[in-house]
Amino acid sequence: MSGSDVSTGRPAAPKSSPRWHAHLGAVPIIVVFFALIGIYIGFAPEVFLRWPIYNSFLVTIPPMLVLSLGLTLVIAAGEIDLSFPAVIALSGFLFAFCADKLHMPWLGLVAAIGGGALVGVINGWLVAALGIPSIIITIGTSFFWSGVATVLSGGLSYALNDLTGTVIARVFSGTLLGVPVEALWAVAVAALIWAILNRHRFGEHLLFIGDSREVARVVGINTVRERIKLFTLMGALAGFASFLMTVANLSYFSTQGQGLLLSALAAVFIGGSSVFGGSATVVGSFFGAMIIGMLDAGIVATGVSGFWVEVIVGLVFVAAVVLHTGLGDPARVKALQRRLMQRE
């Protein structure tokens, strides 16, 4: 898996500009990730030089990671999807109901992914066919599907301890050679999304659309169809993330997923994908999700008061985005420097 960015349609830089930055891709965020690990080890060696904390991360981060990977494609196409927390709630209910009431957990898996895909199809049609901005549609559908999940579940939580030891729990929530399989599934999804974005026509189309929807349409890309497919894929991935979360926790709450909205989005942006669309990095989102997922626990382990967590998350977010902007568009940084020097 290479860390190269994929961007299309951008005019070539002037020959006098160094292009070394264009090959950096996700390297900056990977450096930040390992630097953070180093800081954690330095301040809390008794925690970060032992396996349990990493095991915990490998169990809890994968759902957010899967969401971030889906969002990477969405953002690459210049869109946004804010309905995934509602899909987490809905798909989690579908799985929990099938597992607990029907005793058919495998049907529940299909229902969870299918339910998410259904939400995605509706989002995609409303956005692409009707032309309504995705931020508006997905805010609205988020409210709607959250409400549906609450109505269907009657507000009840489900304890799914009966799944312990079953095949589905071992396949999706067990361990393989000591590694939580949730993490392996997340890596598999990452590889798939990377292949789609970098080696498949669909990914190329998404980047074209993100760069300029009008140009993409003129060159013959069916932007309506591709965006419907995009949101459907995002919905299915959110459904899978919900299933992973529910089977790992062996419980379902109708409010699950609400805390992941900002985290999953932050992971994509600090990973280096452009908020304007047209370029994206799956490797960046991968490490971005790892950083976001580890921050809270890492800060607690170093002994810093929990009140500082959100301050530090915000600083890391802004610093990462500024770093990516500076490295991705050094001409803009030079122009800013010239402007500041002129003022002085």
Positions touching other proteins (CB under 8 A) are: 44, 46-47, 50, 52-53, 55-57, 59-60, 150, 153-159, 161, 245, 249-251, 253-260, 262-263, 293-294, 296-298, 300-301, 303, 305-307, 309-310
Q: How far is the CB of 30 from other proteins (least distance, A)?
A: 21
CA distance 71 to 83: 11
Q: How far is the CB of 281 from other proteins (least distance, A)?
A: 25
CA distance 234 to 116: 8
Cβ proximity to other proteins: between 7 and 251 the closer is 251
Cβ proximity to other proteins: between 161 and 337 the closer is 161
The type of residue at 252 is: Y
Bridge partner residues of 179 (DSSP): 176
CA distance 190 to 285: 9
Q: How far is the CB of 114 from other proteins (least distance, A)?
A: 23
Do residues 72 and 280 touch, judged by C-beta distance below 8 A?
Answer: yes
Q: How far is the CB of 237 from other proteins (least distance, A)?
A: 18
Using DSSP, state whether 175 is helix, strand or coil: strand
Cβ proximity to other proteins: between 121 and 304 the closer is 304
The type of residue at 299 is: I
Q: How far is the CB of 101 from other proteins (least distance, A)?
A: 12
Q: How far is the CB of 243 from other proteins (least distance, A)?
A: 14
Cβ proximity to other proteins: between 253 and 269 the closer is 253
Nearest to 252 by CA among 66, 43, 94: 94
Cβ proximity to other proteins: between 64 and 119 the closer is 64
List, in order, residues 6 or more apart from 112 with CB less than 8 Å away: 91, 92, 94, 95, 239, 240, 242, 243, 246
CA distances from 315 to 83, 91, 138, 309 (A): 26, 33, 28, 10
Give the number of other Cβ atoms within 10 Å of residue 256's Cβ.
23
Radius of gyration of the chain (CA): 21
Give the number of other Cβ atoms within 10 Å of residue 296's Cβ.
15
List, in order, residues 6 or more apart from 226 with CB less than 8 Å away: 77, 202, 205, 206, 209
Q: How far is the CB of 112 from other proteins (least distance, A)?
A: 16
Q: How far is the CB of 150 from other proteins (least distance, A)?
A: 5
Cβ proximity to other proteins: between 212 and 249 the closer is 249
Cβ proximity to other proteins: between 4 and 150 the closer is 150
Cβ proximity to other proteins: between 23 and 101 the closer is 101
Give the number of other Cβ atoms within 10 Å of residue 338's Cβ.
10
